[in-house]
Amino acid sequence: MSRVKMIAVDMDGTFLTSQNDYDRELFQELYQKMLEQDVKFVVASGNQYYQLKSFFPEIEKELSFVAENGAYIVHADEEVDCGKIELETVHEILDILGKYENVHTILCGRESAYVNKKEPQEFIDHGSIYYHRLKKVDDLYKVDHDTLFKFALTVPVEQVEEILESLHNELGDKITPVSSGHGDIDLIIPGVHKASGLIKLQNLWGIKDEEVAAFGDSGNDLEMLKHAGYSYAMANGHPKVKEAAKEVIASNNENGVLKQVAILLEDA
């Protein structure tokens, strides 16, 4: 296979441990090797850009982020691409979500994410872990000043599959529901996902699919893993993800990603 020129990592359940951190010392060492070998490091996550960059305070202005499941792409502090859901469609989706009593909603945009202030405080606190810019509003229908590109839903864990299927049927081709782990479902723009985000960056840098290594654990990583020449599912990943990847590696709590990155850079 070709030499790896891009390494794309999902964050929760993949790069990050259950303690929401990573081996910073080892990463710094490997990041220096990536710079020496001209290997691009891309953070590819369903989470908000402002949250993702907080994990890399020293180098956030150098890195590339495929945030919000591909809806918002930033390289070296510059916006590369930003998706958009038309307001009419946003309202149609909110109408449908209103029928589900056990679905809690965050509306995601370029400037901020938004949550109805009537939502349970526990849900708002949970949301603020993943959305560092989260504004409480009186009515999601009145959010019209931002570019909106994603819905982030939290549902009871035991109902994820059932609600996913129901949403697929209800939403048709308006928007695509994907599971993003621990009881969370993202509604993303059709055709916009982590793989489409990687492709935009590859085009920028002239990197071929077979030169990409991708790491993931959840349903929103499937396209990226199928797309990459080297693809790795975490031992703690969803069965469908393990099936899609070329290799299953150690779990997120066993430093699986960094151990594999060290091997890839050694082989280069």
Residue 182 reports pLDDT greater than 80: no
Does domain 6-82+192-267 fall into CATH 3.40.50.2020?
no
Confidence of residue 150 (pLDDT cuts 50, 70, 90): very high
Q: Which residue has the tokens 């953070």?
A: 43
Would you state the pLDDT for residue 172?
Answer: 87
> Is 10 known to be catalytic?
yes
Residue 184 banded pLDDT, cuts 50, 70, 90: confident
Is 113 in a helix, a strand, or coil?
strand
- Percent of the chain with pLDDT strictly greater than 90: 92
Q: Distance from CA of residue 241 to its chain's centroid?
A: 14
Q: pLDDT band at residue 268, thresholds of 50, 70 and 90?
A: low
Q: Give the model confidence (pLDDT) of 37-87 as tens digits.
A: 999 999 999 999 999 999 999 999 999 999 999 999 999 999 999 999 999
What pLDDT sits at residue 1? 55
Q: What is the pTM of this model?
A: 0.92
What are the boundaries of each domain within the chain? 6-82+192-267, 87-188
Q: Is 77 helix (H, G, I), strand (E, B) or coil?
A: coil
Q: Residue 185's pLDDT band (boundaries 50, 70, 90)?
A: very high
The answer to whether domain 6-82+192-267 and domain 87-188 are alike in fold is: no
CA dihedral 215, 266, 34, 200 (to 10 degrees): -40
Strands laid side by side in the 176-179 sheet: 134-137, 113-116, 104-109, 148-154, 184-188, 176-179
Tens-place pLDDT, residues 89-144: 999 999 999 999 889 999 999 999 999 999 999 999 999 999 999 999 999 999 99
For residue 13, the model assigns a pLDDT of 95
Label residue 247 exposed, middle or buried (CB < 10 Å: 0-12, 13-18, 19+).
exposed
Give the confidence band of 219 by pLDDT, cuts at 50, 70, 90.
Answer: confident
Q: Which fold has domain 87-188?
A: 3.30.1240
| Catalytic site residue from 10, 12, 184, 217 | 10
Mean pLDDT, rounded, of the chain: 95
Give the pLDDT confidence score for residue 179 in this predicted structure: 83
